């Protein structure tokens, strides 16, 4: 059992899915209960990872490696390092919270709804655990389907447009990723005579810079659509706005991170020469900085509450890609931490929209105002989420943003100057949103009798609040688990610049 | 008992108070929905609606905006749990003060007068390359440093903080949101204590941002008022602009020194000054400039002071504590803390001094025409902060801190006194509707009288000593200049005038309020007047710790402030430029010092006399001046048009305009490209459909079937059966690999 922990984590939602199929569609309470138990189990079963993770091990742990499609060289190869550990924990937690938050929000086709959430869960966990590019690709594609249905069936008024746009846009990227994957696959055969999609083996490829560069651009488009980076972001506001709350939560907290994870796991280590080319770094960093400011400016004038939060994601993810392409330890580790932070903070902000949407069925900011008078607990939670998102020190966002900016500063101070401006504007759109919705006097009679947060809703927010405080007050454990994998990536893109711990070098040798 | 190792407790007490208010406040101090929660227009509309009638209290429909929800119709009984909230939060700060006092006394007994307590590595990230080629780990501790400088600030923050808490238990007694107020206030004290106790720049920033947050929360305390929300946002955002400078400076400190810890930076600079004393505008120069920029935000200096006057939307005790005595002096503290860096970057100091002097005279000139009692004090605060920066800019850091301390006493006193006046007037803040209050609220009057003498610089009171020392340093310091001195002296004259204009308008002459208000004027309760009296005593006595050097006949106790701070502000970084410096105390100096002292006292007296002439002896004459120079009056009344400039160009044009422009761009161009591609795909597939049905269908049936089969993927793209499409892709992939795999 213990040797198959990752498979168990991966398959728990599937078990939940099978149980769910046995429950009659008419029994809504039972469906809700089963789905919530499945979500909770999914999270609880992933908890041992935290305790059994050994941060001194360089490379992957909890490995599972068996043949899947032998004639293609495809393997069922799972493993976990510090980077995937954090993202998997984020996935299992927010996956559960997404299910829990849907209790009162969804009333039709419950069985299918919860099935889609559980299926989504499998796909996302799989993406973060796969050590085989083909397997990764399969999970990457699996994620599309349930999200398409979540938006298309349970979404808002323009749900079909948004769902189709989301699907086609991401699929375009996937096709390009497929080509890049095949190039690596055949290159490996050409160089070593073996067909494999194994990430660790692909690391040994030595490709000319030109090849690396165009493979990089193929992967770049795939990943940057998913992140999304400016100018590939326009699917995001539509998808977020139309998706049901749980969908937005998952989309923001986890799905976007698949893109940044792709950069960290594939683009940088597999194509180190391309990723450190001056032109490529300048283009990607330029787009990141542009995205930071662009997202912030556009957020500022949105009239739709959810769209505002969606555009803020573009801004925040700009910080993540900025950190990655600073190509130094603090930039990359800060970026990964910020990916978690964004999941927590923006996840909360979407849940907050969900709470009022459930009560009022409108997302127009001007339909609200003065809610703090009638929903004081809600206002407090919202203020907390706002401050966490705006990067107030002692909360999670600050640690991530500062580390990223320090990394960027180390490489080029002007990048940090632009990034810091993003922090200023980040506070602006959130504060103004808070003022327009929570403060002032109540001007709509519908808002007079809004119930405050229920216990179930508080339970949804509580773990995210606790997590935000933990990262803000004591972030050291996070950097501890990130140290080994991040230093390994940095050693690939900037060899010899940072003194690597001795352990790292020996593993490199052992791999060859 | 050794308290020095337990200084981390000092900020903890108020934090616990704040946490308790967050979780238990609503149970200790239950609140009905505020009667100003509903928009008057809506309330009017709903008052006959049977469904909503019960939610609209009769008061709501015709409720005016008064300052602190004050009820004229009698003082209702304060419930005991509410009293408990007040005692608890004030008690938390008192505990902090007592621990601080004990710790400082113990510190005075130690040899080094510096004690550091490190709790743990707070930020401990990964390796980073420094500019000098070394590699270190990016890390910052959660650690506290008690040294003479933090000791002074600690006592001011916790001591005056405690007095203001006590005052607030009276002032806020009838306000909705009592527990919320005290929770925020405790949280503020926690962050402020963290700020002054931090042993490194990054932790200092935690306090720096934290006090900004509390300032935001408390300015917007009466959040039903749009103006309060706006003022809160303005404060937060203007401060954030400064904070951007703080963050960048800290990053530069990291890559320059490899650490942000104060003691390590100081020792690095002292041991290798030559390594850091580069040409003008090297790393250190930029660090200093950026930290100064950060200070212009938090300490309300030109060009970022615009938020502070608006911050008066908050309850008056908040103005006293945060926007006068403590938070706004954080910038001065930051500069004093960084004085070794500033010594290495002499190119920055003149900028600091000039901005300080400019702010001082600018704010003083605006204060001349204010009619709101709190706004006079707000601009006065900006002006006095300018004095502090002037002192720091000429290298007299101990004097800057000295003025922080004396100002904390007399300005807290004046604000609390104005609160007592407003309390007595039932919320009226306009001085044109006051007058003749002298005998009706005697304690308030007498204490404010002392405060106004102190700020005007009348000898014997605290303000005289610190302000005069600043003016003297402006002349005598090698970094000073005669121009700065003249500006400072002029500001001192204006200060005496506008402060006494305020006193005369408020307390003297004929009452100008309506009868209803006049009948209700009453002195505040003892919990409010007692803090006033203590602060008044401080406004006299504290100054005697730093008498002028020329008063050499007095024993050294009277010079103890400078001596106490000497380990921090007396450090001299020995570089080549500094070697030439000598500070000989000559007889000429003493004569000059006495002469200038006499001059500044004369100016102050003249200022008061002019105010008296205009507002006591010849009331109405001030109108003539206003009419004689309408342009000037308009200019000052519009605050030198700085706010208007920011609103128009930065907020409207740049930020909002830019936002709207980019949103249009996003929809039309960026998303237009995406939709255009979709449109193109649809057209192509329509053409293929057309080809399919018209051309091919007309031909042989078999070929038609084949072509239709071939167009399946394209039609799928339109049909929306995406799962099938994904399946096709995966299958296609397998086939491709199968085919290629054979080769």
Question: What token pair was written down for B716?
Answer: 């799928």
Mark yes or no for CB contact A72/B741 under 8 Å: yes
**Per-residue confidence (pLDDT) for residue B34, from 0 to 100:** 75
Mark yes or no for CB contact B659/A298 under 8 Å: yes
- As a whole number, mean pLDDT of residues B591-595 equals 85
- Which of A141, A298, A483 faces B662 most closely, judged by CB atoms? A298
Q: Does A329 touch chain B (CB under 8 A)?
A: yes
Scan residues 648-667 of B and list those with Cβ closer than 8 Å to A: 655-656, 658-660, 662-663, 666
Mark yes or no for CB contact A145/B660 under 8 Å: no
**Per-residue confidence (pLDDT) for residue B733, from 0 to 100:** 66
For chain B, what is the total number of helices (H) and then of strands (E)?
34, 2
Q: How far is A150 from chain B (nearest CA, A)?
A: 13
Nearest-angstrom CA–CA distance, B414 and B367: 15
Is pLDDT at A487 greater than 70 in this prediction? yes
Is pLDDT at B689 greater than 90 in this prediction? no
Mark yes or no for CB contact A297/B655 under 8 Å: yes
DSSP letter at B134 equals -
Question: What token pair was written down for B613?
Answer: 């002439």
- As a whole number, mean pLDDT of residues B661-688 equals 81
Is pLDDT at A500 greater than 80 in this prediction? no
Per the model's pLDDT, the better-predicted residue between B657 and B221 turns out to be B221
- Which of B205, B236, B723 faces A431 most closely, judged by CB atoms? B236
Q: How far is A1 from chain B (nearest CA, A)?
A: 31
Mark yes or no for CB contact A301/B663 under 8 Å: yes
Helices A28-52 and A82-101: crossing angle, nearest 10°? 160
Pick from B23, B6, B172: which is nearest to B90 by CA?
A: B172
**Per-residue confidence (pLDDT) for residue B277, from 0 to 100:** 74
Mark yes or no for CB contact A416/B42 under 8 Å: no
- As a whole number, mean pLDDT of residues B71-88 equals 71
Say how many C-beta atoms besides its own lie within 10 A of residue B654's C-beta: 13
Percent of chain B with pLDDT over 90: 41
| b/e per residue B687-711 (b: at least 16 CB within 10 A) | ebeeebeeebeeeeeeebeebeeeb
Mark yes or no for CB contact B726/A145 under 8 Å: yes
Pick from B367, B490, B438: which is nearest to B616 by CA?
A: B438
Mark yes or no for CB contact B726/A440 under 8 Å: no
Mark yes or no for CB contact A440/B229 under 8 Å: yes
Residues of chain A with Cβ-Cβ distance to B34 below 8 Å are 373
ipTM here: 0.92
CB of A117 closer than 8 Å to CB of A97: no
DSSP letter at B666 equals I
**Per-residue confidence (pLDDT) for residue A257, from 0 to 100:** 94
Per the model's pLDDT, the better-predicted residue between A313 and B654 turns out to be A313
Q: How far is A195 from chain B (nearest CA, A)?
A: 9
Q: Does B243 touch chain A (CB under 8 A)?
A: yes
Residues of chain B with Cβ-Cβ distance to A435 below 8 Å are 229-230, 232-233
Q: How far is B126 from chain A (nearest CA, A)?
A: 6
Confidence of residue B711 (pLDDT cuts 50, 70, 90): low
Residues of chain A with Cβ-Cβ distance to B52 below 8 Å are 445, 448-449
Question: Beta strand A74-80 with B115-129: parallel, antiparallel or unpaired?
Answer: unpaired
Per the model's pLDDT, the better-predicted residue between B667 and A206 turns out to be A206
- Which of A392, A399, A420 faces B209 most closely, judged by CB atoms? A392
Q: How far is A6 from chain B (nearest CA, A)?
A: 24
- As a whole number, mean pLDDT of residues A6-14 equals 93
- Which of A152, A297, A486 faces B658 most closely, judged by CB atoms? A297
- Beta bridge partners of residue A67, listed in sequence order: A75
Scan residues 429-468 of A and list those with Cβ closer than 8 Å to B: 431-432, 435, 438-445, 448-449
Query: What average pLDDT does the structure give for chain A?
Result: 91
Confidence of residue B69 (pLDDT cuts 50, 70, 90): very low
Query: What average pLDDT does the structure give for chain B?
Result: 84
Nearest-angstrom CA–CA distance, B274 and A140: 57
CB within 8 Å of A34: residues ≥ 6 apart: A16, A19, A20, A23, A114
**Per-residue confidence (pLDDT) for residue A55, from 0 to 100:** 86
pLDDT tens per residue across span B431-469: 888 888 888 888 999 999 999 999 998 888 998 999 999
- Which of A145, A178, A405 faces B733 most closely, judged by CB atoms? A178
Instruction: Please give the helix or strand (H or E) that residue B137 lies within, else none.
Output: strand B135-146
Lowest mean pLDDT among A307-311, B429-433, B671-675: B671-675
Question: What token pair was written down for B355?
Answer: 């901005």
DSSP string, A383-409: HHHHHHHTT-TTSHHHHHHHHHHHHHH
Q: Does A183 touch chain B (CB under 8 A)?
A: no
pLDDT tens per residue across span A320-368: 999 999 999 999 999 999 999 999 999 999 999 999 998 998 889 999 9
Confidence of residue B696 (pLDDT cuts 50, 70, 90): low
**Per-residue confidence (pLDDT) for residue B652, from 0 to 100:** 77
Is pLDDT at A436 greater than 50 in this prediction? yes
Confidence of residue A149 (pLDDT cuts 50, 70, 90): very high
Q: Does B26 touch chain A (CB under 8 A)?
A: yes
Is pLDDT at B720 greater than 60 in this prediction? no
Is pLDDT at B64 greater than 50 in this prediction? no
Scan residues 220-259 of A and list those with Cβ closer than 8 Å to B: 230-231, 233-235
- Which of B127, B205, B248 faces A329 most closely, judged by CB atoms? B127
- Please state the separation of Cα B367 from the chain's center in Å: 19
- As a whole number, mean pLDDT of residues B521-525 equals 86
Residues of chain B with Cβ-Cβ distance to A421 below 8 Å are 244
- Which of A329, A440, A474 faces B224 most closely, judged by CB atoms? A440
Residues of chain A with Cβ-Cβ distance to B194 below 8 Å are none
**Chain B interface, best mutation among A164, A234, A299, A403, by max B CB count within 10 A:** A234
Residues of chain A with Cβ-Cβ distance to B720 below 8 Å are 152, 160, 164
- Beta bridge partners of residue B328, listed in sequence order: none
Scan residues 362-421 of B and list those with Cβ closer than 8 Å to A: none
- Which of B40, B125, B656 faces A330 most closely, judged by CB atoms? B125
**Per-residue confidence (pLDDT) for residue B385, from 0 to 100:** 94
Confidence of residue B276 (pLDDT cuts 50, 70, 90): confident
Nearest CA in chain B to A311: B663
DSSP string, A5-49: HHHHHHHHHHHHHHHHHHS-TT-HHHHHHHHHHHHHHHHHHHHHH
**Per-residue confidence (pLDDT) for residue B59, from 0 to 100:** 52
**Per-residue confidence (pLDDT) for residue B736, from 0 to 100:** 65
- Which of A71, A164, A486 faces B720 most closely, judged by CB atoms? A164
For chain A, what is the total number of helices (H) and then of strands (E)?
23, 2
The SS3 of residue A194 is coil
**Per-residue confidence (pLDDT) for residue B394, from 0 to 100:** 92
Mark yes or no for CB contact A442/B42 under 8 Å: yes
Nearest CA in chain B to A297: B659
Mark yes or no for CB contact A373/B224 under 8 Å: yes
Nearest-angstrom CA–CA distance, B412 and B407: 8
**Per-residue confidence (pLDDT) for residue B76, from 0 to 100:** 52
Mark yes or no for CB contact B659/A168 under 8 Å: no
Strands (E), A228-368: none
Scan residues 48-67 of B and list those with Cβ closer than 8 Å to A: 49, 52, 55
Confidence of residue B713 (pLDDT cuts 50, 70, 90): low
- As a whole number, mean pLDDT of residues A25-49 equals 92
Mark yes or no for CB contact A424/B736 under 8 Å: no
**Per-residue confidence (pLDDT) for residue B729, from 0 to 100:** 66
**Per-residue confidence (pLDDT) for residue A197, from 0 to 100:** 93
Question: What token pair was written down for B631?
Answer: 């342009």
- Which of A167, A410, A438 faces B128 most closely, judged by CB atoms? A410
Nearest-angstrom CA–CA distance, B257 and B271: 13
């Amino acid at each position: 059992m213990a040797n198959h922990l990752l498979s168990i984590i991966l398959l728990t939602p599937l078990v939940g899915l099978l149980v769910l199929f046995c429950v009659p569609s008419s029994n809504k309470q039972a469906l809700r209960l089963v789905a919530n138990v499945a979500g909770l189990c999914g999270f609880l079963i992933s908890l041992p990872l935290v305790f059994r993770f050994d941060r001194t091990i360089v490379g992957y742990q909890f490995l599972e490696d068996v043949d899947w499609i032998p004639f293609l060289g495809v393997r069922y190869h799972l493993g976990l390092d510090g980077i995937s550990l954090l993202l998997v924990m984020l996935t299992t937690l927010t996956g559960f919270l997404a299910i829990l938050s849907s209790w009162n929000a969804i009333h039709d086709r419950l069985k299918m709804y919860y099935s889609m959430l559980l299926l989504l869960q499998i796909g996302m966990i799989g993406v973060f655990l796969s050590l085989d590019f083909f397997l990764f690709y399969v999970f990457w594609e699996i994620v599309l389907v349930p999200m398409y249905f979540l938006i298309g069936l349970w979404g808002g008024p323009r749900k079909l447009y948004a769902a189709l746009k989301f699907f086609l846009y991401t699929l375009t990227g996937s096709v390009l990723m497929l080509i890049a994957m095949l190039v690596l696959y055949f290159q490996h055969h050409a160089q070593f005579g073996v067909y494999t999609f194994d990430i660790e083996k692909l690391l040994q490829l030595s490709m000319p810079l030109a090849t690396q560069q165009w493979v990089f651009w193929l992967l770049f488009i795939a990943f940057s659509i998913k992140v999304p980076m400016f100018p590939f972001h326009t699917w995001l506001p539509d998808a977020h706005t139309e998706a049901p709350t749980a969908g937005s939560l998952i989309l923001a907290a986890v799905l976007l991170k698949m893109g940044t994870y792709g950069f960290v796991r594939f683009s940088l280590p597999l194509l180190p020469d391309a990723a450190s080319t001056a032109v490529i770094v300048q283009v990607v960093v330029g787009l990141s900085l542009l995205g930071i400011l662009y997202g912030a400016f556009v957020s500022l004038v949105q009239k739709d509450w959810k769209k505002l939060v969606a555009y803020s994601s573009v801004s925040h993810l700009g910080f993540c890609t900025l950190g990655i392409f600073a190509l130094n330890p603090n930039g990359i580790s800060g970026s990964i931490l910020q990916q978690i932070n964004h999941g927590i903070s923006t996840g909360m902000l979407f849940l907050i929209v969900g709470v009022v949407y459930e009560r009022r069925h409108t997302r127009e900011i001007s339909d609200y105002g003065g809610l703090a008078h009638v929903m004081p607990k809600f206002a407090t939670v919202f203020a907390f989420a706002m401050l966490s998102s705006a990067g107030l020190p002692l909360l999670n966002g600050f640690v991530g943003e500062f580390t990223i900016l320090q990394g960027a500063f180390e490489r080029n101070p002007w990048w940090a100057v632009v990034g810091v401006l993003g922090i200023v504007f980040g506070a602006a759109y959130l504060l103004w949103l808070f003022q327009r919705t929570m403060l002032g006097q109540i001007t709509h009679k519908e808002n007079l009798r809004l119930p405050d947060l229920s216990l179930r809703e508080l339970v949804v927010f509580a773990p995210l609040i606790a997590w935000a405080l933990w990262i803000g007050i004591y972030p050291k454990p996070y950097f501890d688990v990130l140290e080994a994998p991040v230093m390994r990536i940095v050693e690939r893109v900037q060899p010899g610049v940072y003194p690597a711990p001795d352990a790292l070098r020996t593993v490199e040798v052992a791999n060859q | 008992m050794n308290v020095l190792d337990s200084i981390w407790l000092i900020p903890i007490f108020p934090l616990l108070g704040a946490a308790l208010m967050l979780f238990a406040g609503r149970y200790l101090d239950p609140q009905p929905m505020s009667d100003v929660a509903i928009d008057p227009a809506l309330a009017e509309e709903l008052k006959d609606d049977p469904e909503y009638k019960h939610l609209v209290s009769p008061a709501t429909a015709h409720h005016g905006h008064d300052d602190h929800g004050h009820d004229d119709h009698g003082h209702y009984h304060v419930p005991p749990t509410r009293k408990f909230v007040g005692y608890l939060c004030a008690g938390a700060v008192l505990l902090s003060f007592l621990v601080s006092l004990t710790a400082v006394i113990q510190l005075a007994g130690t040899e080094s007068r510096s004690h550091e307590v490190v709790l743990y590595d707070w930020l401990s990230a990964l390796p980073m390359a420094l500019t000098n080629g070394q590699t270190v780990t990016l890390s910052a501790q959660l650690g506290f440093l008690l040294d003479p400088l933090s000791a002074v600030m600690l006592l001011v923050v916790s001591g005056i903080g405690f007095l203001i808490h006590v005052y607030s238990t009276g002032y806020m007694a009838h306000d909705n949101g009592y527990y919320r107020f005290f929770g925020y206030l405790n949280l503020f004290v926690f962050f402020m204590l963290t700020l002054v106790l931090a042993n490194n720049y990054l932790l200092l920033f935690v306090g720096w941002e934290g006090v900004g947050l509390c300032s935001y929360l408390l300015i917007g305390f009466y959040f039903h008022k749009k103006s309060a929300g706006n003022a809160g946002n303005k404060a937060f955002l203007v401060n954030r602009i400064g904070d951007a400078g703080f963050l960048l400076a800290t990053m530069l400190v990291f890559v320059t020194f490899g650490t942000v810890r104060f003691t390590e930076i100081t020792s690095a600079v002292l041991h290798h000054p030559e390594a850091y004393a580069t040409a003008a505008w090297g790393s250190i120069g930029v660090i200093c400039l950026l930290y100064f920029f950060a200070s212009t935000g938090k300490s309300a200096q030109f060009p970022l002071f615009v938020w502070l006057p608006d911050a008066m939307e908050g309850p008056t005790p908040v103005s006293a504590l945060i926007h006068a005595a403590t938070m706004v002096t954080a910038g001065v503290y930051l500069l004093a803390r960084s004085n070794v860096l500033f010594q290495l970057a002499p190119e920055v100091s003149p900028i600091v001094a000039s901005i300080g002097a400019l702010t001082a005279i600018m704010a003083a000139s605006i204060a001349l025409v204010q009619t709101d009692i709190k706004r006079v004090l707000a601009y006065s605060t900006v002006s006095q902060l300018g004095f502090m920066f002037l002192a720091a800019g000429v290298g007299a850091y101990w004097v800057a801190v000295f003025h922080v301390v004396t100002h904390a006493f007399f300005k807290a006193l004046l604000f609390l006194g104005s609160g007592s006046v407003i309390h007595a007037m039932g919320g009226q803040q306009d001085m044109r509707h006051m007058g003749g209050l002298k005998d009706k609220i005697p304690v308030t009057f007498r204490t404010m009288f002392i405060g106004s003498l102190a700020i005007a610089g009348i000898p014997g009171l605290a303000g005289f000593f610190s302000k005069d020392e600043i003016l003297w340093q402006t002349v005598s310091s090698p970094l000073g200049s005669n121009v700065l001195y003249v500006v400072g002296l002029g500001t001192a004259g204006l200060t005496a005038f506008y402060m006494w204009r305020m006193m005369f308008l408020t307390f003297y002459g004929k009452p100008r309020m309506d009868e209803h208000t006049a009948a209700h004027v009453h002195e505040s309760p003892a919990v409010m007047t007692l803090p006033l009296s203590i602060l008044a005593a401080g406004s006299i006595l504290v100054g005697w710790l730093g008498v002028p050097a020329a008063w050499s006949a007095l024993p050294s106790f009277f010079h103890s402030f400078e001596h106490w701070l000497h380990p921090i502000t007396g450090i001299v970084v020995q570089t080549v430029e500094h070697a030439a410096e000598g500070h000989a105390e000559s007889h000429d100096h003493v004569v000059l010092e006495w002469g200038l002292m006499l001059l500044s006292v004369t100016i102050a007296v003249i200022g008061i006399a002019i105010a008296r002439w205009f507002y006591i002896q010849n009331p109405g004459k001030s109108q003539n001046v206003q009419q004689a120079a309408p342009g000037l009056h308009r200019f000052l009344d519009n605050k030198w048009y700085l706010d208007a400039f920011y609103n128009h160009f930065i907020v409207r044009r740049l930020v909002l305009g830019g936002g709207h422009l980019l949103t249009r761009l996003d929809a039309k161009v960026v998303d237009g490209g995406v939709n255009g591609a979709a449109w193109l795909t649809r057209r192509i597939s329509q053409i293929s459909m057309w080809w399919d049905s018209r051309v091919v269908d007309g031909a042989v049936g078999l070929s038609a079937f084949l072509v239709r089969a071939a167009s399946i993927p394209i039609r799928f793209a339109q049909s929306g059966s995406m799962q099938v499409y994904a399946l096709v892709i995966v299958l296609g992939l397998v086939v491709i690999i199968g085919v290629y795999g054979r080769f």
